[in-house]
Structure 1
Amino acid sequence: MQPQGGESGMTLVEMLAVLAIIAVAAGATVLGIGAATRAPSVEAEARRLSSRLQSVADEAMVSDRPVAFTWDERGYAFEGSASGDDAAHGRHRLPAGIRIDMGRRRPPLMLGVDGTGVPASIGLRSGEDRWMVVYDGLSATPIPAPAA
């Protein structure tokens, strides 16, 4: 369509559409850069472990299948989980610098089918930053570790 009266240019709607596209692209870039430069924290890992442990413990009770929580210096896993192959219940590698501390306890930690799993305090640490996941046989709760 030819512009009337010899005028050419963009309409207001076209201008707003272009600005919206630029704003979305800029927002995605800023959020992506922030996530890439943020180091994983011990608190975030403790919360992740807590939610995964709670989910698997609930699954053990519902499916009537015991699950073993195993760990080593690099991470942890849930063995015997019906959905052990999915990302939520599969092996999790801890970020560099974060270590798991189970004291003198040796793997595995059994999660019972009737809520009678062995209570445990699972420590996560990186330098002076320390958190614990307290598992009482039914639920898992992340808490800051007391000062040593």
Structure 2
Amino acid sequence: MTAVTAPYPRPIRRQGEAGVTLVEILVVLAILGVMTGVTALALPSTTRTTTLTNEAELLASRLDVAAEQSLMSGRPAALDWGDGGYRFLEWTGTEWTTHRNPLLGTHHHMGQSSLNADRMAARDGRMVIKADLSPPDTQAEDGTGEAVATLRLRAADEEISLRFDGATAWVVTQ
């Protein structure tokens, strides 16, 4: 009988390990992924000024909506601020209640920003939006002779002003 030999040679075993395994590579990649994610989350996504500008534009849009809905319903609304945020209220004829529009009635937290009216330095306040869209009671002359309310949003050393004439709100760029 003849001995049958394998068509390929047997692998030679080494005494020590000469490379890295697939599992080791995957562990290193997972660690790098976690470290990259933590670093990305630690970096600020926007500057404070951009965030403050966005807050001012959002408040201006909400004031416009509140004024429009106040005109349509014939009932005054109010911007009520404090506790690091604001919400809108609605006059029912006997009392102020949370605005029925959930986008306006829900308390909006502004993070590190604060809001106050031009003539009211208090961190809490209320500005009434009249149903006839006449200028609010918290008003000042804007240089053109028209009465407008000035709201100021502050965060650290940044400040942005917002004007409201009873019907339209706009952000004042410096």
TM range, normalised to the smaller chain? 0.5 to 0.7
Check the 8 A contact 1:81/1:89 in 2, yes or no.
no
Distance in 1 between residues matched to 2:161 and 2:132, nearest whole Å: 24
**Which is further off, 84-93 or 109-118?**
84-93
Residue 84 of structure 1: how far off its partner (Å): 2.3
Alignment of 1:45-64 (within 5 A): 45-64=55-74
Partner of 1:88: 103
Q: Pick the structure with greater CA Rg.
A: 2
142, 150, 161: which is aligned to 1:121?
150
Percent of residue pairs bearing the same amino acid type = 23
Partner of 2:128: 110
Question: Which consecutive residues of structure 2, in runs of 5 or more, have no partner in the other structure?
Answer: 1-39, 93-97, 137-147
Residue 103 of structure 1: how far off its partner (Å): 4.0
Question: Which consecutive residues of structure 1, in runs of 5 or more, have no partner in the other structure?
Answer: 1-32
Partner of 2:116: 101
Distance in 2 between residues matched to 1:104 and 1:114, nearest whole Å: 23
Structure 2 CA distance for partners of 1:104 and 1:73, relative to 1, 3 Å: farther
* TM-align CA RMSD: 2.7
State the AA in 1 paired with 2:165: D
Partner of 2:75: 65
Distance in 1 between residues matched to 2:132 and 2:100, nearest whole Å: 23
75, 88, 91: which is aligned to 2:85?
75
Structure 2 CA distance for partners of 1:52 and 1:116, relative to 1, 3 Å: same
Distance in 2 between residues matched to 1:47 and 1:81, nearest whole Å: 25
Distance in 2 between residues matched to 1:81 and 1:50, nearest whole Å: 21
User: Normalising by structure 1, what TM-score?
Assistant: 0.64
Distance in 2 between residues matched to 1:115 and 1:103, nearest whole Å: 19
Aligned to 1:89, the other structure's residue is in SS state helix
Distance in 2 between residues matched to 1:116 and 1:53, nearest whole Å: 14
